[in-house]
Copies of this chain bind each other. A is one copy, B any other.
Amino acid sequence: MSEAIISREELQLAARNHGMPLEALRFDLTPIGLHYLLTHYDIPQVDPSAWRLELGGLVERPVSLSLDDLRARPDVELAVTMECAGNGRVHVEPHVVSQPWLLEAVGTARWRGAPLAGLLEEAGVRDGAVEVLFTGLDRGVEGGEEQDYARSIPLEEALRDDVLLAYEVNGVPLPPQHGFPLRLLVPGWYGMTSVKWLARIDVLDEPFDGYQQRHSYRFRQDEDEVGEPVRRIQVRALMVPPGIPEFLTRARVLTAGEHVLEGRAWSGAGEVTGVDVSTDGGATWAEAELEDDTLGRWAWRRWRFRWDARLGEHELCCRARDDAGNVQPLDPPWNVGGYANNAVQRVSVNVTDV
């Protein structure tokens, strides 16, 4: 076994915050229970009959809505790939202490809800509005500050027609862990944006500077830097680890011969335009076959790659690019929070003749 790298506190987080086992990349829509979950504090207990959504701040007509009110509004269903901004954190050096994600902090689901834009329009956004703030019912302490989890987005993002107040996932009411009874959904942005257990929406005349916006989720090279905010999901491809695993090490064993490697690719910053695969640790690359975006703009796309596996040890890699000119880096980028590490995945396999 290798040396210890994770503390008890980080393990506590890993035990609570569920990753998507990578064989679940096979599913177009991630089954409930396999989608990744990151819960900052505790999953709150919400009585849906007492719950209301309050919309206020810089609006002409503040609004208060029950869950039935929201369900009676025009609705949209949208397949969305969601990824945690901390996905890949364990692979950055030096080590960053927080939720210790390897590569499993992703999932794709079909969310149904009421578009936020229509609600904002009815409430009447007043001149001078710049951001919209979303506050959840999950409460805890972070950086010494007791807080309700809260994050904002710029007004122009809030007015996109695909930003939803979602009450269903994969055809069923939100389970407690996904934000029951209501969550925000901002396609293309990292998951911390899509506030769960949503209770309040406030239109603001200046940028929100709460803990999760001011301190967390910023690209910084040292603690004192202000840094740029973490926003759009960076381009990434992941593959289903081929063959069968060894229980403890997850080392992969594969029989020699023809195999189809498969995986998914996505980007919040642009459309995925291609995926390259290497079967020799990145020395040479060849293009994978990329499926059409059958699930829509905001969901991952399947890719496949035929491989004639020869005996011996091989390192498989996949690397996606998008039409905004982004391509996955070969080495993990580092920042204080360990955010947005979209370096290429590397999977070692032992090809045998049995």
A interface residues, Cβ below 8 angstroms from B: 1-16, 18-19, 21, 23-24, 26-27, 31-35, 37, 39-43, 45, 90, 97-98, 100-102, 104, 139-142, 146, 175-178, 241, 244-251, 253, 354
Q: A5 to B9, Cβ gap below 8 A?
A: no
**A149 → B minimal CB distance (Å):** 10
CA–CA, A250 to B40, complex, Å?
Answer: 10
Of B7, B102, B139, B247, the residue contacting A140 (CB under 8 A) is B247
Complex formed: what's the CA distance from A139 to B1 in Å? 22
In the complex, the answer to whether A104 meets B16 with C-beta atoms within 8 Å is yes
Bound: A97/B12 CA distance, A: 16
Would you list 26 pairs from A and B whose C-beta atoms are within 8 A, ordered by A residue? A1-B97, A4-B6, A5-B7, A5-B8, A6-B6, A6-B7, A6-B11, A11-B90, A12-B102, A14-B14, A15-B19, A15-B101, A15-B102, A15-B104, A21-B177, A23-B43, A24-B43, A32-B32, A32-B175, A34-B176, A41-B247, A42-B245, A140-B247, A142-B246, A146-B244, A146-B253
B244 and A9 contacting across the interface, CB-CB below 8 Å: no
A42 near B23 with CB under 8 A, answer: yes
Chain B residues with Cβ below 8 Å from A102 are 11-12, 15
Copies in the complex: 2
- Quick one: closest B residue to A3, CB to CB? B7
Shortest Cβ distance from residue A337 to the other chain B in the assembled complex, whole angstroms: 12
- A255 CB, min distance to chain B CBs, angstroms: 11
Q: A8-B90, A18-B18 are in contact. List 12 more A-B contacts (CB 8 A).
A: A2-B8, A12-B102, A12-B250, A14-B14, A15-B19, A21-B39, A21-B177, A32-B33, A41-B244, A42-B244, A42-B245, A141-B244
Residue of B nearest to A149 (CB): B247
- Cα distance, A1 to B253, chains bound together (Å): 37
**How far is B11's CA from A122's CA once the two chains are assembled, in angstroms?**
48
Given the complex, which residues of B lie within 8 Å of A176, measured CB to CB?
24, 27, 31, 34
Report the Cα distance A101→B177, complex, angstroms: 20
Residues of B within 8 A of A1 (CB): 7, 9-10, 97
In contact, B21 and A11 (Cβ under 8 angstroms):
no
> Which residue on chain B has the smallest CB distance to residue A43?
B23
A33 CB contacts on chain B under 8 angstroms:
18, 32-33, 35, 37, 175, 177-178
Q: A152 to nearest B CB, angstroms?
A: 19
How many angstroms between the C-alpha atoms of A100 and B16 in the bound complex? 12
Q: Are A245 and B141 in contact (CB under 8 A)?
A: yes
Which B residues touch A45, using CB under 8 A?
A: 23, 26
A140 to B245, Cβ gap below 8 A?
A: yes
